[in-house]
Every structure is written in structure tokens, then in C-alpha cells.
Structure 1
Amino acid sequence: MHITNLISQYFGKFAKKEFPSFFQKIINSIYVKIFKIDLSEFRKAKYYKSLNDLFTRELAIPRQIDELENNIISPCDSFITQGGKIKEDILFQIKGMEYSLEDLLTYYCTDNFQKVKNGSYINFYLAPSDYHRYHAPIDFVIKKLIHIPGKLYPVNFKYLKKEIELFVQNERVILECISAKGKLFYMVFIGALNVGQMVFNFEPTVETNKNAKDIKYIDYEGVEINKGDALGYFKMGSTIVMIWEEDSVELENLLNQKVKFGQKIATVK
């Protein structure tokens, strides 16, 4: 087991422990202050029974989303670290640090690789202070889920700038999706240090950071998901990479900007 996985497992045990109420309120308060978390859309920190409960908090005030049919919304609250056109097989985790699309998606996606190798992509970085739940960016059908065990390096800017092919090395879950207009796209959920789990509401059999060594592959007849639906959540901050079929979307210019779940990030062509 890699040291990053071991650290994450120990932290996960601490984060899910429910301490006595008085002590837990102190832990929650310290965490909120350190990471400057805005709880204006959520319950107050004192109401969460564990750090995991706080990390995976649900919105207490419903979020308004862009409901126009052809507008793709951000699946999460995050910072856009990179995005744009894929050149053949190359994406960037951050400027100057490239990685292979084929290595990221693995041979399980070979049949569709030609469709996306010159497509578009966006990297969404979720900081520890962000809302950790992820949602459907558009109406779509899930065709495949692929869980790839791996390391759990941090995905912050320090590591993005120094660790070669970080996204390919880290544990990840890939969703292969078909939009309501028949266009292919992928959502890649990437684990990180202290991410005890990535949870998917529609597939409870997926267990991340559990010493798994083999790739888990699930083929679906078609799980229908509506725009804005909750897909699941990270336990701590991490990264989502979205990858679209060539000439299927027009991206908004959001590089190095914060985005919110529900905000328009692209338009279907």
C-alpha cells in the first residue's frame, strides 16, 4: 500500500468518528475557521456530528441552476485549473504538466477513444473549503462505470506542478455518459490525499480507498440522470475532469476562476 493511501485511511477513521458533542463542536469550528468555509447555504457547523458529516454537507438552501436545455452546468463548486481543446491524446493537469488521455481513461474506453481524442476538457479542483457533492451537468445516461485503484497524492497546485501524470497515478472513478442529444462525454472523479471515499448514489458497490488492486468495471443498460441530480460526494476535496466528444460543446472562458454548481460552463453545439 502506498503511504498516501495509508495516511488517507487513518484520516478517514478520524473524520468519521463522532466525538462527544462539545468536543465535536470545537473540531468543526476550528476546521471552518482554518479553511474559511462559507456556511451561508448550509446548517451551522455545530450541527454536524463528525468531520465527514461537515465535509459532505448538503445544501440547506436549494441552489438555482441554469435550466436552459443546451447549457451545461458545473457539476460542483470548484476552481478551474485547466481546460480547452485536447490535442490528439494530450491534456494538461496544469500549465506545462501534460498527461495522456488514453492512460487516464484506460483500455476499457478504447472503443470510444477516437471520438474524444480531439475533444474538449475542463479540470475542476475542489478545495477543502468547497461543497463536496457533485451533480449532473446535463440530462444524460450512464453507460459504464470504471473504478481504477491507485495512489492518493494531493491534487493541490504544489503537486499539480511537480508530480508527473498525477491524475493517471491517482485512484479514480470514470463514468462514460451519453447526453440527451446522443453525444459522448466522460466524468472522471479523482481521489486525493485524505479523501477517504468517493461515493456514488446510484452505485453503492463502489468502495474507494479500500486496498483494492483490480479494476472494477460495470456496464449499464442505461441509468438515466437528470440535470442537477446529486450523483454523490467526495469525503474531502479532490478533482473532477470532464471530457467531451470532438465538436460537441463550446466551453466558457473560465480558466483560473471559481465556479459554482449550477453555473453555466459550456454550451451544447
Structure 2
Amino acid sequence: MRKRVVTNIISAGFGKFASKRFHPILQKFINSSYIKLLGLDMSEFKEARDYKSLNELFTRELIKKRDIDYQEDSIISPTDSLITECGKLKKDKSLQIKGMEYSIDSLLIECKENLNKIYDGDFINFYLSPKDYHRYHVPCDMQILKVIHVPGKLYPVNLRYLKKKINLFIENERVILECKNKEDRLFYIVLVGALNVGQMTLVFEKRVETNKNRELSIYKYNNLWMNKGELLGYFKMGSTVVMLFEKNSVKLDVRPGQNVKFGQKVAKWIKD
């Protein structure tokens, strides 16, 4: 049993506040204040008064249809986010941010049998700030082989913390999805928890309960397929999504410091 640290307790407490439904007048004030404070663009969403809790606002659903790149070889951004880092792995080494490496061997717990396929592959780090759309979507037609929930700490994942906290992605709580595309090319989607992210959800796996279940859990699937653009789940508050691709399987189409939107092409599969 892992012990909970202060940031996890803070996140759980904030989660209770955010989940509480206040009187409609007070809730509208809370929602409007949050929108104004962070400068949220609500043009694709309902109005502040329509959300009955702060969590409903955090996890808001798009009401306008997004343009999605449905080309067969395209990989779309799963989120609205900032690309904090991307590029080539150096064998098993990835970048948390420029100048700060970490080992994917430590990140991808319980995936040892396939890790050599990822060595020298490509990666993209997507950072969702508290003002971003908090839902994440399927980046390409894919089969989900396995989900691993790794309990951990909940340090902030903003740029300031990324630059000073070594092995941040490894220490923080995370949910790992082991996936393949239609051509059996292996890739991983890693949902990284953060301060005030009391929950990371998956629409297809209700047994994953983050910042609550403190034991490592593994879920395997025989024939679970999802289509590009489908809803995968959501963060409660901002956080990070890391994607890691099999060697020589993709060509990236983004750069560090670039802002991307869900549905936008960020890479393409390389045909054999």
C-alpha cells in the first residue's frame, strides 16, 4: 500500500470542492469567476450558468463539431494543449523538457516485453493547462491491448515544475494505454496526473479510479477497438498526455512550443 503525500491530499480536497453543487446563483458566480480568472474561451461550449459544479465546467463537452483530419495515415492531437517537447528517443531516453531526460523503462511499468520496439522511436508531450478543454480523444483507429494504472504523487506539471523536478512523469500518478494501429504498429498513450487532477477517467474502463485506489492495477483486453476522434476520457483540471511510438513508424508534424487543438494532425504513420 502506497502512502498518500500532501499534494494528493490537497488534490482530493480540491476535488471534493469542485464536485460540490452549490446554489445556482453561487455556482454561476464560481463558474464565471473561474472563466474570467483563467481567460477561458467558451465559444465552443455552453454558458457558465449551465454547469452545476466546477467539475462539470472543467470536463465540459464541445457543443460545436471540430474539424478532424480523417486521412488514413494521420495521427491527430488527442487534446487541446501545448507541445512541451517532442522528437526522437535516444534508445530508452525521452525528454521531459529540453535538457531533462527520463527513462521510458521506468515510465512504462508492466510493459517490459514490448519496450525494445519503442527504443529510438518518437514521442510527443501534450500539456493541458487549467484553461484548456480537458477531454482527450482517440488519436487514430486503434486497438487497446492493456491499461496499467500506476498510483503515485501529484506534483504540478506546468513548465516551471517541468524544468526543476527530475523524473516528474515517473513519480506522478499515471494511466498507461498500450495500443496498436491497424498495421500492428505499437504505441503508448500515457495520461499523467497532476496537482488538483483528482481523477483521470477512461470511458471504456470504469475500474480505473485515480487518486483513490493506491494499488497498481492492470487490465487486459482481447478485441477492444476505438475509432479516431472518439472520446477516450477526461482530466479533472489540466495535466499531460505523453505519446510514444514504435521505432520508424511515424513522422512527426509538430514542434516544441506549438499549441495544438484536438483533431489537428500531429504526425503520420510511415507505410512499410
> TM-score with structure 1 length normalisation?
0.98
Residue 126 of structure 2: aligned partner:
124
Residue 225 of structure 2: aligned partner:
224
Residue 193 of structure 2: aligned partner:
191
Distance in 1 (CA, whole Å) between partners of 2:100 and 2:153 is 18
Q: Which digits, 9 at most, give the CA deviation of each residue in 1:20-66, with x for residues without a partner?
A: 00000000011001110001000011110000000000001111100
Which structure 2 residue ranges, 5 or more long, are not aligned? none
Residue 49 of structure 1: aligned partner:
52
Pairing partner for 1:88 from 87, 91, 96: 91
Q: CA deviation at 1:206?
A: 0.6
Q: Which digits, 9 at most, give the CA deviation of each residue in 1:126-154, with x for residues without a partner?
A: 00000000000000000000000000000
Distance in 1 (CA, whole Å) between partners of 2:180 and 2:242 is 16
Which structure 1 residue ranges, 5 or more long, are not aligned? none
Distance in 2 (CA, whole Å) between partners of 1:16 and 1:253 is 35
Q: Which digits, 9 at most, give the CA deviation of each residue in 1:86-118, with x for residues without a partner?
A: 001111111111111100001x11110100011
Residue 71 of structure 1: aligned partner:
74
Asked if 1:112 corresponds to 2:114, the answer is yes
Secondary structure in structure 2 of the residue aligned to 1:267: strand
> TM-score with structure 2 length normalisation?
0.97
Q: CA deviation at 1:243?
A: 0.2
Asked if 1:22 corresponds to 2:58, the answer is no
Structure 1 segment 233-252 matched on structure 2, within 5 A: 233-252=234-253
Residue 202 of structure 1: aligned partner:
204
* AA matched with 1:266: A
Asked if 1:100 corresponds to 2:119, the answer is no
Secondary structure in structure 2 of the residue aligned to 1:232: strand
CA contact (8 A) 1:254 1:265 kept: no
Distance in 2 (CA, whole Å) between partners of 1:101 and 1:132 is 25
Asked if 1:180 corresponds to 2:185, the answer is no
* AA matched with 1:242: M
* AA matched with 2:123: Y
* AA matched with 2:121: G
Asked if 1:11 corresponds to 2:17, the answer is no
Q: CA deviation at 1:213?
A: 3.0
Distance in 1 (CA, whole Å) between partners of 2:182 and 2:142 is 5
Distance in 1 (CA, whole Å) between partners of 2:123 and 2:48 is 35
Distance in 1 (CA, whole Å) between partners of 2:269 and 2:184 is 11
Distance in 2 (CA, whole Å) between partners of 1:81 and 1:12 is 26
